[in-house]
Amino acid sequence: MLHDKTIIVTGAASGIGAETARQLKAAGARVIAVDRNEPAAEVDAFDKIDLTDEAALDAVIEDLRKVKADGLANIAGVPPTLPPEVVVTVNLVALKRLTLGLVDSLADNASIVNLASLAGIGWEGEVAKIKAADSLTHAGVADFCARNGVTAENSYFFTKQAVVAWTLENRWTWRGRGIRMNAVSPGPVETPILKDFLETLGERAEEDMKVMDRPGTPADIAPVVVFLLSRGSGWLRGVNIAADGGMRSHIDATSNGLV
């Protein structure tokens, strides 16, 4: 399905990123991992990077531009238990900087997949804040958080809302070259950050877990990412797929009076 294709995967050291890298390799792709830790899965190349380091990120971008990749899977992310400045930098600012730094060098008909989250629900109510972050750089994150009320309690939600909105905004941005952008929004998934996620969400997370039959696993999410990176999803543009065991459907149905 992806024979002779080169895919860049951020966050490939663990969780959904590691499983995505594994499944991409199984599908015949050449995988370039980007992470601060050594990748768990077999990959063809590895760029070690702390996404909070702007200079190091720019150096990796220059290195990866030579690849002319066929796909980019933006999976790297940090949990809401970290300081809001770190969450915003890694989950949003670095994601956008890497993507925009690489997009001109991607092959025609390339696919970009952003890992969002069920936490991105409600982005429509945060458009002003999302737009205020449009040109945000690493250096400006702390001031942005202070000015816009981005705190430890809401930083993760904000970043995922912004990623969903950014995906929608770029549905046709590179259409002339056939480059498309889509997103995947998992619910709670058994990854190294699940404990941190549940700790931050508290009662809300406990209620969600009662409704779900089980949390997801990386093996539930990775095939959706791989599909969006493949030619089979070529007519999907600006789509945000809820891979959450039905939680998004449940929220939509119950909030609109459906049983």
What are the two backbone dihedrals, phi and then psi, of residue 180, each rounded to the nearest 5 degrees? -125, 155
- C-alpha to C-alpha distance for 227 and 230, rounded to whole angstroms: 5
Q: Are 77 and 13 in contact (CB under 8 A)?
A: no
Sheet holding 180-186, edge to edge: 45-48, 30-35, 6-10, 71-74, 111-115, 180-186, 240-243
Helix or strand holding residue 46 (H, E): strand 45-48
For the chain, the straight-line distance linking the first and the last C-alpha, in angstroms and rounded, comes to 40
Catalytic residue among 47, 98, 114, 156, which? 156
User: Is-catalytic flag, 156?
Assistant: yes
For the annotated catalytic residues, the residue numbers are: 156
